[in-house]
Chains A and B, each alone.
Chain A
Amino acid sequence: MGEISIAPTGKRAIRFGICQRCLSTDVRTFTCHHGTCAYCRNCLYLGRVCRCDFLEERDITTPLETTELTMPFELAPDQARVASQLLTWWEERQTGLVHAVCGAGKTEMTFPVIERVVNEGGRVLIVSPRRDVALEWVERLEQAFTVPVTRRYGGGEKETIGMITVATAPLLMNLRNVFDYVLVDESDAFPFAFDLSLWNTIRRAGKGIFLFITATPTVWQILFPTVHLSRRYHGFDLPVPTLVKQSDEQLFDFCRRHASKPRLLFVPTKSGLERYRETLEEAGFTCRTVSAETEERTDSLDWLQQTNGIVLATSIWERGMTVRDVQVGVVESEHRLFSARGLIQMAGRAGRKPDAPTGEVCFFYGERTFRQDVAIQKIKEANRR
C-alpha cells in the first residue's frame, strides 16, 4: 500500500526471475560484487534493483490537504453536463469514459471532480501518454488549484506524491494502491495502446476508479459508461478533412495558400521527415522538424506560433498540442502508421481557439484507404451529433 523503495530489509527485489517493482521478466544475470546476481533492465531509470537488494513498501506520508478551485472560465452548458456526470460517477465510485471531440475543453471539465476528490481526502493521479501533454496539464492545474501539483515525468521531481500528481505511466512502476482517482488522458495513445504492462502499471498504482478521457476510444473502453461531448467549446464544427492527391505541387500549394498562418505537416516516418524537409527547402520554405528525438519540442511549438512557419512532425504531435490558427496537412496519409484514430486526432489540431475556430485539414494521399474514410466519417458524425 504505497511506494516501493530500496531498503536494507524487506522482500527480495527479484524473485523467480520477476522484478518485484515493475513485474517485468526482463531480468538479466551479471556478476555482482558477491557473485552471480541479477538485475532488472525494465526499470533502470528508477535506479537499478539487483537480486541482492530488498524492497520495502512504505505508506505515502505527505499530509492530506484541501484545495480551492478557481475555474479559468465558466463552463459551457455542455461541459457542465459532463462535469456533473463525472461527479455522480465519483459518488457511485464508478469508472467511466469521456468521449469528447478534440478541442472540447476536456481538461477544464475535469476540474470540479478533481476538486471534490481532493477535498474528500483522496489523491488524484493524472496519467498522460507523453511528457508534452503532462507539461500542459501541470500548467493549467497550477493556475486553477491552490495545492501544489506533483510532477512525475522525465525532468520533474520524482520523489514525492502530493494530492494531485501528473505523471507519465512508466514512472508509476513503484506505486501500489495509492491514488483514489485516476484520470487517464488520451487513453488510446501510443504507449498505452500497445503495451499491456503500462496498463497494469496504472491499474496497480490506482485503487480501482478510473476516468478515461479521449476523442477516439478503443473498443474495450466503449464498454464503460460513457458521456459524449461532440461540440467544441466555441461551438463551431470540427474541420472536415479534404482528400488531395499527393504531389509536390499540391504540397507547395498548400503551404503557399496559408503563407501567413502556422502550418503543420504530419509525416509518418523519421526518414520521411528529412526527405520532405529537403523538398520544401528547395522550394524556398523554411521549416523545422519535430520527432520523438527532438529535445526542444516546446521550443518548436513557440517558434511555430510566433513566426507562422512550417513544422514537419511525426505522430508525436498528434495529441495534446494547441497552436492558434494552425493549418494541418497529413502527408502520405495512407501510411500504415496513421490509424483512423491518429488521423482524427491530427485533424483535431486545427481550429482549437475561439478566435480562430476553423482551419484547413488536408489528407494528402497516394492511395485511398479505409482509414482515411473512417476518419472523415467519424468527424462528420461528430459534427452531426
Chain B
Amino acid sequence: MRCLLCNEPMTVPWTPATLWRRDWVCSSCETRLTPLGTGCPRCGQPNETGETCPDCIRWLALGLDLTVRCLYAYDEAGVEWLHRFKFSGDVVIASSVAQALRRLRSSGVTYVPVPLGEARLRERRFNQAEVLARSIGMTKNYLGKLDVSSQRELGKEERRHRTNPFTVPTSVKCGKIILVDDVYTTGTTLHQAAFSLRQAGATEVSAICLFRALNKSKTRPI
C-alpha cells in the first residue's frame, strides 16, 4: 500500500479497518499538520491562558455569538495541504483529515458547508467545504451565495466591512446547525453566514473549521 499523501510505500497496520479502508497515510505524513493547542474557546486563536481573544470580544459586542471549532494551525504544512486540496484539486486527500473531523460529529446536527459562488464553483469543479462537511455527517445546502470578489487579497478591515454575500433561499427547519469551512482567518465569512442562518430561523448555529490562520505566522494572508 502506498501513502495517500507522499506516495511512498508503507506497511498498513493490521486492524479490522484494514479490510475496508482504502486510503492510508504514513506516520510521517500524519503528524505533519500541527493541531491547535489551548486557545480562545470561540475561535481557537492560540494563547496560554485560554481566554477569549479581543477579536472575538469584538464579534460579541456586535451581537454575533458563534463558537468555531478549529482543528489545525494554518502554517506551512497547512498551506501546502490546503493548496493541494483546493487549488490542485486532489480531492481524495480530504480523507486524511476525515478521521479527525469525524471525531467532532454529534447527533441531531445538520452540517452546512459554506457555499462557493457560481462562477468559482464552475472553475474549481467542487466545493471544498462541502467535501469536508460530507466527511463529518449529513449536509444540507441551506446557504446561497451572491457573486463577490475573492477575499484573498483583502486586509482585515476590508474583510470586516464587506456586505453579507450569503442568502438563505428556503426557510430553515432543523434544530442545530454546524457550519463547515476550510480556513478561519478573520471569521467574517462564518459570522456572516451564521447571521443569515439565524435570520432565516435557525436556533443554534456553531461552526467547524479545518485550519486557523495564526496572526503571527508569515503565511497569514492578511
Residues of A within 8 A of B (CB): 28, 30-33, 37, 39, 41, 44-45, 48, 50, 52
Contacts and interface: CB of A to CB of B under 8 A. Distances in A.
B104 interface: no
B126 A30 contact: yes
A28 B92 contact: yes
Contacts of B134: 31
Enumerate the 4 nearest inter-chain pairs by beta-carbon distance, A residue then B residue, closest first: A30-B91, A48-B89, A28-B92, A32-B125
Contacts of A30: 91-92, 126, 131
B27 interface: no
B131 A31 contact: yes
24 contacts: A28-B92, A30-B91, A30-B92, A30-B126, A30-B131, A31-B130, A31-B131, A31-B134, A32-B125, A32-B126, A33-B121, A33-B122, A33-B125, A37-B125, A39-B89, A39-B91, A41-B90, A44-B88, A44-B90, A48-B89, A48-B90, A48-B125, A50-B125, A52-B125
A50 B88 CA distance: 12
B117 to A, nearest CB: 12
A28 B91 contact: yes
Most chain A CB inside 10 Å of its own CB: which residue of B92, B121, B125, B131: B125
A103 to B, nearest CB: 32
Contacts of B90: 41, 44, 48
Nearest to B87: A48
Nearest to B123: A33
Contacts of B125: 32-33, 37, 48, 50, 52
B89 A31 contact: no
B129 to A, nearest CB: 12
Contacts of A50: 125
B89 A44 contact: yes
B92 A41 contact: yes
Contacts of B126: 30-33
Nearest to B124: A33
A28 B22 CA distance: 11
Contacts of B89: 39, 44, 48
Contacts of A44: 88-90
Given A32-B126, A48-B90, A50-B125, 16 more contacts: A28-B91, A28-B92, A30-B92, A30-B126, A31-B126, A31-B130, A31-B134, A33-B121, A33-B122, A39-B91, A41-B90, A41-B92, A44-B88, A45-B88, A48-B89, A48-B125
A115 B134 CA distance: 58
B77 to A, nearest CB: 14
A24 to B, nearest CB: 12
A41 B121 CA distance: 20
A31 B131 CA distance: 8
A30 B89 CA distance: 10
A35 to B, nearest CB: 11
Contacts of A28: 91-92
A32 B88 CA distance: 14
Nearest to A48: B89
Interface in B68-114: 88-92
Contacts of A32: 125-126
Interface string B124-138: 011000110010000
